[in-house]
Amino acid sequence: MSWMLPPSASTFAGDIDFLYYLILVITGVAFVVVEVGLIWFIIKYRSRPGRKAYYTHGSVRAEFIWTAIPAVTVVAIGILSAPVWTHVKGRFSAPADALIYRVTAKQFEWNFTHPGLDGTLDTDDDFTIRNRLHVPVNRPVLVRLVSEDVIHSFFVPAFRVKQDVVPGLNTQVWFEATRTGEFELGCAELCGLGHYRMRAMVTVHDADDYERWLASRATTTALR
């Protein structure tokens, strides 16, 4: 049981995590102030014989203060959140040099179309693998999301990305992995009875390794 986010592995994860911890601290303080206040009042002002409560209908000053403080705080959180949101999800936020992949989701599998050796999607050397995505490290990756049936959601916790995959709608999401290794990808939107098993693995290679993997992949495909 922890309030710490799991280890991250993408460029913008740090910004998201920062916001999360910031809100955690702010709400943590608010939580303590309110709950301690409540407990203190409960003890201090519990009914005792012969006492009468203090007769008041309120205080405009006090109310102004406790309206202003939360208002300023949430607006500040909003202002800090906005650029991060635009950076991650903005319509034109994906870096221009991103490697483009296509994900075709269907009950209950992810089909990843890799751009192949030439790095361009929709050319002859593209190939599609079920439930495994291979990307190079330190290189922006743009994933075009297509669904063949119902809504799924492309979720890689370590990259802090989540994007619904909606049939009939061309959604996309980008990320740039900062670590090599294997990362789990899950479906985050209820999509039917096999939803809980709609998972895949993302392998992040370093640049050379990615080339090698592509080359070996190309030969096995050619053999078929």
Partner 1 sequence: MTFDGTPPANPAIDMTEEPECVAKYADGPVDPVVVVNDGMLANVFIRVTAGLPAGPYPIPSQPATIDQNGCLYTPRVLGVMVGQPFEITNSDPLLHNIKAVPSESRGFNISQPRAMTTTRTFKTPEVMVPLECNVHGWMNAYVGVTDHPYFATSAEDGSFAITGLPAGTYTIEAWHETLGKRMMEAEVVEGGTVSVTFVYGSTT
Partner 2 sequence: MATTAIPHEPVARTEHQELPFIRKYIFATDHKIIGIQFLIMSLLFLFVGGLLAMMIRWQLGFPETPMPGGTVLPETMAPGGILLPEFYNSLVTMHGTLMVFFAIMPLLVGVFGNYLIPLKIGAPDMAFPRLNMWSFWIAVPAGILMLAGFFVEGGHAAAGWTAYAPLSAKGEFSGVFAGQQLWLLSLAVLGLSSILGATNYITTIVNLRAPGMTWFRLPLSIWSLFITAILVLLAIPILSGAAIMLFFDQTIGTHFFDPTAGGQPLLWQHLFWYFGHPEVYILILPAMGMVSDIIANGSRKPLFGYHSMIYALIAIAFLGWIVWGHHMFQSGMNPTLGMGFMVTTMLIAVPSAIKVFNWMGTMWRGNIRFHVPMLHAVSFVAMFVIGGLSGIFMASTPVDIYIHDTYFIVAHIHYVLFGGSLFALFGAITFWYPKMFGRMMNVFWGRVHWFLTFVFFNLTFFPMHNLGVGGHMRRLYDPSEYEFLQPLAGTNRFITVSALLLFTVQIIFALNFVISLFKGKRAPENPWDDNGLEWTVPSPPPHGNFVTTPTVYRPPYEFSSPLVEEDHLPQDRDLGQKTDPASAPGTG
Rounded Cα gap, residues 84 and 16, in angstroms:
7
Q: Mask of contacts with partner 2, 55-94, x by CB under 8 A?
A: xxxxx--xx--xx--xx--xx-xx--xx-xxx-xxxx---
* 111 touches 120 (CB < 8 A): no
Site for Cu ion in 93-152 (CB under 5 A): 152
Cβ at position 112, least distance to partner 2 in Å: 18
Question: Which of 194, 206, 216, 221 touches partner 2 by CB under 8 A?
Answer: 194
Instruction: Give me the sheet containing 109-114, strands edge to edge.
Output: 127-130, 109-114, 99-106, 140-147, 171-176
Number of residues that bind Cu ion (CB under 5 A): 5
User: What's the half-sphere exposure (Cβ side, CA atoms, 13 Å) at 97?
Assistant: 3
In the block, which residue shows the tokens 């406790």?
Answer: 66
Which of residues 136 and 157 has its CB atom nearest to partner 2 in the complex? 157
Rounded Cα gap, residues 61 and 65, in angstroms:
6
Q: Mask of contacts with partner 2, 23-52, x by CB under 8 A?
A: xx-xx--xx--xx-xx--xx--xxxx--xx
Question: Which of 161, 177, 202, 214 touches partner 2 by CB under 8 A?
Answer: 161
| Polymer length in residues for the chain | 224
85 forms beta bridges with none
165 forms beta bridges with 152
Give yes or no for residue 9 binding Cu ion (CB under 5 A): no
Q: Which residues contact 86 (CB under 8 A, 6 or more apart)?
A: 93
Site for partner 2 in 107-146 (CB under 8 A): 107
* 145 touches 110 (CB < 8 A): no
From the list partner 1, partner 2, Cu ion, none, which binds 61 (C-beta under 5 to 8 Å, kind-based)?
A: none
From the list Cu ion, partner 1, partner 2, none, which binds 169 (C-beta under 5 to 8 Å, kind-based)?
A: partner 2
Cβ at position 99, least distance to partner 2 in Å: 21
From the list Cu ion, partner 2, partner 1, none, which binds 84 (C-beta under 5 to 8 Å, kind-based)?
A: partner 2
